[in-house]
Amino acid sequence: MAGLSKDNLLERLRGGAPLRFGHQVRLTATLSYPAIIAQFSTVAMQLIDTAMVGHLSTDAGASIGLVATCLWLLGGFCFACCNGFSVQVSHLVGAGDFKAARSVVRQALTSGLIWCLGFSLLALAVAKPLPLWLGGTGHVAAQASRYFLVTVLFLPFMQLDIMSAVILQASGEMRMPSILNVLMCLLDVALNYLFIWVLDMGVVGAALGTGIAELLIASQMVWFLTRKCKDLSLKGEKGSFMPTKPVVRNAVRIGLPLCLENVVMRGAYIAGTVIVAPLGAIAVAANNFAISAESFCYMPGYGIADAATSLVGQSIGAGRRDMAKRFGWLTTGGAMILQTLTGALLFIFAPEVMGLISSDPEVVSLGATVLRIEAFAETMYAASIVSYGACVGAGDTLLPSILNFSSIWIFRILPAIWLCPRYGLVGYWIAMCFELNMRGILFLFYLARGRWLRMKSTAEASVILR
């Protein structure tokens, strides 16, 4: 039993066979590390965009920072839709009902595109005035508008990429999404260099390079899911791609709280942008660059959260709620340890990290200061990230979503309104650090209460999914 592979361990999990603690740790690690690599590559791609533009000028960096929160809002809608379907897939795979899981896959691809196109059209309509609404002025607002417009044009490809990746991860296939995400990062580097520097397209070049990289990788991600994935391949199987009421209803039940959370939380991020914007271009650029730099710290947490969602979801689908609880705590504890280490590294190397992104000494100095404040939040931030991932895997999204957005508005935005006028950008990041610690405490308490384990599995009604 010592030499069991990931697939063997997943089969034992789905089949109800016992799994020793060592096997639980191995399965968690095996699913986590490719997901962590995928998260790192995604953040690296964003950081490369930011760094390349940041070295053009402070105004160029500020223009991206101005609309970044709105782009996160759109991305959050994409993720919410995807999770509504991927959780169903993980439950069905855990129950061994692969035919029903493939039915959900077909409907997910269609539903995701319909969902995304609606938001894309709305975003295109507001692309020009949006930076002005957010407090931008002059050349910064004009550049921000063009960057936002080009990025939104590629949003449907991002939707297909995310949908395929999260469904593959939900089934336990972590390796291929990781490989393709690394490849997308490499493509992004090459294309950004071409469009930003060789063709001298500035911030528009950054958006165009990233968009083309997403388009190319999305096509490969969809191809692997539908033609090569061992458990979910649609090759040789007939079935409708039209969404059905039971699948959509389950997706709405799971995904709607995530959408509402996304609106409220991204609204908080936008409010944060509005709070920071009057501090000037230096503060806006430092804030945007520091957020990008800090993301390297918490990407291990998001990678482990992906593994937690898959492991908890498959355990729930297999009717093994005791195992779901163990995986919930195991993944959360592991992420807290790992992110404590990355937080320490962030504190030590904050000036060097900021120096890689910006050549402006004022931006580097201010960014390093706020990053060192944030280093003290990483441990509890990991607790909230992975606990949330475990709850999503169980299909429990309503109360965790309420915890997320209540925390950010009460413990971050309200204190920031008072702190920013007095301490500038440092005040905003003090509020952020406080909030992330409070959020982690709330999620650990919620995880301990165990309500998330009592949600009904979508696999229990799989007969209607066909």
All structural domains of the chain with their residue ranges: 22-465
CA distance 314 to 89: 9
Residue 464 pLDDT more than 50?
Answer: no
pLDDT higher than 50, residue 360: yes
What does the DSSP assignment read for 182-203? HHHHHHHHHHHIIIIIIS--HH
How large is the average pLDDT for residues 226-242?
91
When pLDDT is averaged across residues 238-257 and rounded to a whole number, the result is 92
Mean pLDDT (the chain) is 89
In this prediction, residue 465 has a pLDDT band, given cuts at 50, 70 and 90, of very low
Local confidence band at 459 (pLDDT 50, 70, 90 cut-offs): low
At residue 45, what is the residue type? M
Among all chains, which residue has been given the structure tokens 């009902």?
97
Of all helices (H) and strands (E), which one includes residue 174? none
**Amino acid identity of 250?**
N
Burial class (CB in 10 A: 0-12, 13-18, 19+), 42: buried
**Of 107-111, 250-254, 297-301, 305-309, which range is least confident?**
297-301
DSSP state, residue 199: S
- Contact between 338 and 382 under an 8 Å Cβ cutoff? The reply is yes
Radius of gyration, alpha carbons of the chain:
21
- Segment 26-52, tens digit of pLDDT: 999 999 988 888 887 877 777 677 677
Contact indicator for 137, 197 with CB cutoff of 8 Å: no
CB-based contact 461:91 (threshold 8 Å)? no
Count the Cβ atoms, other than its own, within 10 Å of residue 211. 21
**Share of residues in the chain with pLDDT > 70 (%):** 95
Cβ(192)–Cβ(53) below 8 Å: no
User: How far is Cα 157 from Cα 154, in angstroms, rounded to an integer?
Assistant: 6
**Per-residue pLDDT tens digits for 177-204:** 999 988 998 998 899 889 988 888 888 8
In this predicted structure, what is the pLDDT of residue 129?
Answer: 92
104: CB partners within 8 A, 6+ apart: 85, 88, 89, 92, 247, 465
Question: According to the model, what pLDDT value does residue 71 have?
Answer: 86
pLDDT (0 to 100) of residue 219: 96
For helices 245-276 and 281-317, angle between their N-to-C axes, nearest 10 degrees: 160
Residue 57's pLDDT is: 73
Nearest one of 264, 265, 255, 267 to 397, comparing CA atoms: 255
Q: Is pLDDT of 150 > 50?
A: yes
Supply the pTM of this predicted model. 0.85
Mean pLDDT of 91-115: 94
